[in-house]
């Protein structure tokens, strides 16, 4: 399985408050035409924390409908308990996921030791019908994986790689250096796509790729071709929107940006609220600025 592409962590569109499968298909088809390597469903940006188990299944099924079999559907299936995570991984595979992306447990922070992570991910990987990607997002989860832990987990035949969502280049390099060539480190945020690829990451799962997929695909191609100056210029272009749809305005900002870019974004689920008018104006202005530069 090849993770050397760019994937959008797709938001979940709602119509009248309910998951809208047709909007999912609309978005996914368009992303596929833009050359993305597949889609991540039910990540942080998919508001997976706000969906129940049945809704999660419907999201995966709808995404699968629109993804060709030669592209990847990666499904977020992390839960706090080992058994719920395994159950979610099995259901995701049954609904067509090619791989599962499993965030670190984090509720009992002081108990989240290297031993706990090893235990948890080993049990999940043992039971999952499809390959497992670790999902490391210390700023959001408040817990940290060590390079040694990742190196050890990387030996498991059913653990294929990790999404690293911090912007810490030393940490990302440590994960690459600690693991072997068959373990895929995937950049988890647009702000460090170019830096991460330089350091040995193979691809990206990036909110900004949902909004401007072509630029992200070109950046990956430029690094592959050794065109570093081109890559750096592309990085500079995607950075401001990348910030707005993540640390800046979060999921509401990402959904607003999708609407402005012709995708189906819509409202987030309560207690989240839509992006403010001011946020929308900033996103619109920045999208216009980027478009002009092209």
Evaluate whether 223 touches 204 at the Cβ level (below 8 Å).
no
Applying CB under 8 A, among 25, 91, 232, 284 the residue interacting with its own copies is: 232
Applying CB under 8 A, among 198, 221, 260, 290 the residue interacting with its own copies is: 198
Evaluate whether 7 touches 205 at the Cβ level (below 8 Å).
yes
The token pair at 189 is 């945020």
The CA distance from 41 to 47, in Å, is: 10
Evaluate whether 1 touches 131 at the Cβ level (below 8 Å).
yes
**Would residue 163 show up in a list of annotated catalytic residues for this protein?**
yes
Which one from 90, 109, 163, 255 is the annotated catalytic residue?
163
CA distance readout (Å), 41 to 113, 159, 260: 28, 19, 21
Q: What is the footprint of its own copies within residues 152-191 (CB under 8 A)?
A: 167-174, 177, 189, 191
Of the two residues 33 and 168, which places its CB atom closer to its own copies in the complex?
Answer: 168
Applying CB under 8 A, among 32, 116, 151, 260 the residue interacting with its own copies is: 116
Of the two residues 2 and 228, which places its CB atom closer to its own copies in the complex?
Answer: 228
Evaluate whether 132 touches 160 at the Cβ level (below 8 Å).
yes
For residue 19, the cross-strand partners are 14
The CA distance from 161 to 9, in Å, is: 16
Give one DSSP letter per residue of 178-199, joined into a string. HS-TTSEEEE-SGGGHHHHHHT
Of the two residues 7 and 249, which places its CB atom closer to its own copies in the complex?
Answer: 249
Of the two residues 129 and 142, which places its CB atom closer to its own copies in the complex?
Answer: 142
Q: Which of 166, 172, 175, 170 is nearest to 142 (CA)?
A: 166
Beta strand 132-136 pairing with 99-103 = parallel
Evaluate whether 135 touches 102 at the Cβ level (below 8 Å).
yes
Range in contact with its own copies (rule: CB under 8 A) among 26-34, 65-73, 195-203, 277-285: 195-203
In the complex, the smallest distance separating the C-beta of residue 116 from its own copies, rounded to whole angstroms, is: 5
In the complex, the smallest distance separating the C-beta of residue 232 from its own copies, rounded to whole angstroms, is: 7
Q: What is the footprint of its own copies within residues 10-39 (CB under 8 A)?
A: 17
In the complex, the smallest distance separating the C-beta of residue 97 from its own copies, rounded to whole angstroms, is: 21
Backbone angles phi, psi at 78, to 5 degrees: -70, 135
The CA distance from 237 to 4, in Å, is: 21
In the complex, the smallest distance separating the C-beta of residue 108 from its own copies, rounded to whole angstroms, is: 6
Q: What is the footprint of its own copies within residues 48-107 (CB under 8 A)?
A: 49-52, 80-84, 105, 107
Of the two residues 32 and 87, which places its CB atom closer to its own copies in the complex?
Answer: 87
In the complex, the smallest distance separating the C-beta of residue 111 from its own copies, rounded to whole angstroms, is: 5
Applying CB under 8 A, among 109, 126, 285, 288 the residue interacting with its own copies is: 109
The CA distance from 95 to 124, in Å, is: 18
In the complex, the smallest distance separating the C-beta of residue 94 from its own copies, rounded to whole angstroms, is: 18
The CA distance from 21 to 15, in Å, is: 9
Q: What is the set of active-site residues?
A: 163
Binding site for its own copies (CB under 8 A): 17, 44, 49-52, 80-84, 105, 107-111, 115-117, 119-120, 123, 140, 142, 167-174, 177, 189, 191-192, 194-196, 198-200, 226, 228, 232, 235-236, 239, 243, 247, 250-252, 269-273
């Amino acid at each position: 399985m090849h993770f050397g592409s760019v994937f959008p962590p797709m938001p979940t569109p709602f119509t009248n408050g309910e998951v809208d499968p047709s909007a999912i298909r609309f978005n996914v088809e368009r992303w596929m035409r833009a050359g993305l390597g597949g889609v991540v469903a039910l990540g942080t940006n998919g508001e997976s924390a706000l969906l129940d188990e049945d809704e999660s299944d419907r999201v995966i099924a709808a995404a699968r409908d629109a993804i060709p079999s030669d592209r990847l559907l990666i499904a977020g299936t992390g839960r706090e308990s080992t058994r719920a995570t395994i159950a979610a991984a099995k259901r995701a595979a049954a609904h067509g996921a090619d791989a599962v992306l499993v965030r670190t447990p984090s509720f009992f922070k002081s108990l989240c030791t290297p031993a706990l992570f090893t235990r948890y991910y080993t049990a999940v990987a043992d039971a999952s019908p499809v390959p497992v990607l670790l999902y490391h997002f210390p700023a959001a989860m408040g817990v940290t994986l060590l390079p040694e832990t990742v190196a050890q987990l990387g030996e498991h035949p059913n653990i294929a790689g990790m999404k690293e969502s911090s912007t810490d280049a030393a940490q990302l390099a440590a994960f690459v250096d600690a693991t072997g060539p068959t373990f895929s480190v995937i950049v988890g945020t647009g702000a460090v796509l170019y830096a991460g690829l330089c350091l040995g990451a193979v691809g990206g799962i990036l909110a900004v790729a949902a909004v401007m997929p072509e630029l992200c695909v070109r950046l990956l191609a430029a690094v592959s071709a050794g065109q570093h100056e081109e890559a750096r210029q592309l990085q500079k272009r995607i950075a401001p929107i990348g910030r707005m749809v993540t640390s800046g305005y979060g999921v509401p900002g990402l959904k607003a940006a999708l609407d402005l870019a012709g995708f189906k974004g819509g409202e987030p689920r309560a207690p989240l609220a839509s992006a403010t008018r001011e946020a929308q104006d900033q996103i619109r202005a920045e999208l216009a600025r980027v478009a002009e530069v092209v």
